[in-house]
Amino acid sequence: MKKYYIETFGCQANIKDGQIMSGTLDAMDFSSTSDFKEADVIIINTCSVRQKSEDKVYGWGLKLGNPIAHEVQIYEKKGNQVVFVTGCMVGSAKGDRKRYDMKILEDKMPWANYMLAPDEEYKIPEILVKEGLISDWTKKAIGDVVLAKDISNNDLTAYVHISTGCDNFCTFCVVPYARGKEVSRTEDEILHEINHLVSRGYKKVLLIGQNVNSWGLDTKTKFKLRAGSEHKIPFANLLREVHKIKDIEKISFISSNPFDFTQDLIDTLSLPKIDRYLHMAVQSGNNEILKAMNRRHTIEEFKELVTKIKKAVPDITFGTDIIVGFPGETEDQFMDTVNLFKWMKFNVAFISIYSPRIGTNAEKTLKDDVPLKEKKRRHKHLTEIWKETLS
């Protein structure tokens, strides 16, 4: 039996993509291995959201603490394996929105045989036919069905894509380039998949999109929405439909943004199956920095939204994403974020140091003028404040 190894970096969307690739390989009679040295197929499923994420993939030797890419290079040269690089790093170099040239990746990762963007990962079977690892009959036998590996964990939570891509273009973010235009799956497709998952024993689902709030909306409408507005949105109705599925016990979703979190969506949060944890990326506590980030909310709107949500669901908890050291961020502006943390008391906080991402609007138009030493100090201080609010 041939073996495969998948190393996935990044968010839940990447994890779901890894499950699909794994399920497809299982269907072709490959078996998973935890030792890439013995694998016939290696897939490195990449993240591009931070420079550190990309550095892990480039893997310039042991000094980065992640020798995978370095060792793959050695084994690939022996001709023992077919090596794929997939995910957001490749997506950033392909398609209409590419932010750097494919040659950059090819030069830095000469050990990769194939590089596939997220929307090209379905090509793996035909490539394996070409490489002589499977027969054309095997490829035809599995057809074009998207097969997600049945990775059952203790709490039986299934990841379900409801949309792919993003059109928000926050100035620091690579996602609109890496995953392309925002495209929503149909309600029928989503409900069919969830019902199928229920038949396989799943009790909990995590609905995934780069911004789930805008699921099913046309471009003109989604950019008109404001936090707390009375506009009825399709995503709120989708949650109600999933809630009706008898054997589903818990419904979670990620990610939500504050700027289009409407009253309609707030109302659904009190449904008994909806997770009492809500992740909303605020990114900064200062309005000028939010504007520079092209975030469509103010801190006042965010606080008013949180107040409404807490009133509707008193036992809810919150998580967020924050960037410190964004271009132009002064000490006073940073302290606005510190004060937000003292007011908010986030249960979960992913605090990141700003790093310029090639091809983004921030990298093109804003000077990265906060010294690294100061960024690290702010990261440490905000982390300490956050931990204090947990006690």
pLDDT digits (tens, 9 = 90+) for 122-180: 899 999 999 998 888 777 766 654 545 544 444 578 889 999 999 999 999 999 999 99
pLDDT at 96: 85
CATH of domain 3-142: 3.40.50.12160
Q: What is the pLDDT of residues 189-235, one digit of tens each?
A: 999 999 988 988 889 999 999 999 999 999 889 888 887 788 899 99
Residues 133 and 254 sit within 8 Å (Cβ to Cβ): no
Q: Which CATH architecture has domain 152-275?
A: 2-Layer Sandwich (3.30)
More confident residue, 201 or 250: 250
Q: What is the pLDDT of residues 43-64, one digit of tens each?
A: 999 998 888 888 878 764 333 3
* pTM for this prediction: 0.85
Top CATH class, 282-391: alpha beta
Residue closest to 235 by CA, chosen among 252, 261, 254, 216? 216
For the chain, the structural domain boundaries read: 3-142, 152-275, 282-391
The dihedrals phi and psi of 350, each to the nearest 5 degrees, come to -95, 100
pLDDT at 68: 60
Q: Output the average pLDDT for the chain.
A: 89
| Residue 381 neighbours by CB under 8 Å, 6+ apart | 338
Sign of the four-CA dihedral 323, 224, 280, 46: negative
pLDDT at 339: 98
For residue 346, is pLDDT > 60? yes
Q: What is the pLDDT of residues 260-295, one digit of tens each?
A: 999 999 999 999 999 999 999 999 999 999 999 999
pLDDT at 226: 80
Listing DSSP states for 89-143 in one string gives HHHTTSSTT-SS-HHHHHHH-TT-SEEE-GGGGGGHHHHHHHTTSS-HHHHHHHT
More confident residue, 49 or 377: 377
Residues 278 and 316 sit within 8 Å (Cβ to Cβ): yes
CA gap 172, 361 in Å, rounded: 7
Domain 152-275 and domain 282-391 have a common topology: yes
pLDDT at 185: 95
pLDDT at 3: 94
pLDDT at 154: 47
Mean predicted confidence (pLDDT) in 83-90: 93
What is the pLDDT confidence band of residue 65, given thresholds at 50, 70 and 90?
very low
